[in-house]
Structure formats: structure tokens, C-alpha cells
Amino acid sequence: MAKEKKAKEVKEEVLEESKCCSDESECCSDDSTCCSEESNCCSDESTCCSAESTCCKEETLEEKLSKEVQNLKDQLLRNQAELENFKKRINDERIKERKYASMDVCKGLLSPLDTFDLALKQEIKDEATLNFVKGFKMIEDQIFNALKDQGVCEIEAQDKKYDPFYHQAIMKEKLEGVEPEMVTDVLQKGYMFKDRVLRPSIVKISE
């Protein structure tokens, strides 16, 4: 009798520490729900899953959907940023093309301008020829004014400090009282086209 009483007390203690389960399920701890024999015991935060699978949290589907929505939002923001950058780049390229559209034409007119400039430097004594020279001077001025309207201007070089960005030195000479690398003579005029060097000045500099 004592043994049966002891066994009964032990059984009651086990029942108190666990949940009562049906004959078709196994008993689980207080921290879990009763599951069928074909499933594993899972925590209260999860649902019972089949024996072939692990316990899955109830929030898993909601979390996956939330992450997917966030990923799509991030991708949308990236696509919008890329589109804005593309539009800005295309717009900048169009502005740049319009800004420098006439650069090649202006550069092509420099050679005729040089020819007029060279001819006008010749000493003329004949009155008849002098009248022709005056006409050439007018044409030269018209060409230069047309180039000026497009953004062309002459690079100042004479008596300036040599700058390889604007000047191209092909000769050197030693002069007393002149600092080294000063432009002493301009052999061919240089020109700027807006903020670009259309052609550097060909110069002679001091040693």
C-alpha cells in the first residue's frame, strides 16, 4: 500500500508540472502547447509543425512580407536616384554640346585670320597697295568680331610669365634685366574659346 501511495504522489507531481494531453498526443512542458504524436513540441510563440519540419514562428510570414516590402521600397528609391542622375547627366551633356557647338568652326577660321595678320604686318609704301591692305584689315576685323561673338578671345602673352597651359615655347633667349621664363616675343597668336584653349600662343621666352 505504501508503494502504491508513493507512486500515486509522484504521478500527481508530474501532472502538475506538465499539461494534460490527449491519448493521441505527447505531453509538453508548461512553456509549450500539446502537439500530436506526429509533430514536435513547440513554444507558445510558435505553431506545431510536422515531424519532418522544424517549429516555425507565427511572425515569420509577416516578417518576410515586411522585409520584401522594405527591399522593394529601397530598390524603388535606388531606381529613382539612378533615373535622376541619368537625366542630369544627359542635360549636362546637351548644355555642353550647345556651349561648344561652334568650337571646331571657330578653330578652322584661325588660319585665314593668321594669313590676314601676316599680310598686314608687311611694310607697304605703294598708295594703291595700301588701299588694298586697308580693305584686308576691315575683313580681318569682321572675321575676328564674328569669332568674338562666338566666345573667342586672344590670349595675352607678350611680357607675361610663361604658362604651359596657355603658351607653347619653341625658342629661348638670354636677355639682361629680364626674369627667366618671361614671354619676350609672340610668334603666333593664341586664342581661347570661352573657358577652353582653342589654340595656345607660340612664343619665345627668356632663359
Fold of 103-206: Nucleotide Exchange Factor Grpe; Chain A, domain 2 (2.30.22)
Look up residue 86 and give its three cell numbers: 541619368
pLDDT at 12: 60
Mean pLDDT of the region 118-135? 81
What's the pLDDT band for 118 if we cut at 50, 70, 90?
confident
Q: What are the cell numbers at 109?
A: 577660321
Give the helix ranges, DSSP H, for the chain. Answer: 2-17, 60-99, 103-108, 110-120, 127-149
pTM of the full predicted structure? Answer: 0.57
pLDDT in tens, 72-92: 999 999 999 999 999 999 988
Helices (H) and strands (E) in the chain, counts: 5, 10
Q: What is the pLDDT of residues 146-196, one digit of tens each?
A: 999 999 999 999 999 999 999 999 999 988 888 999 999 999 999 999 999
Secondary structure percentages of the chain, helix, strand, coil, to 5: 45, 20, 30
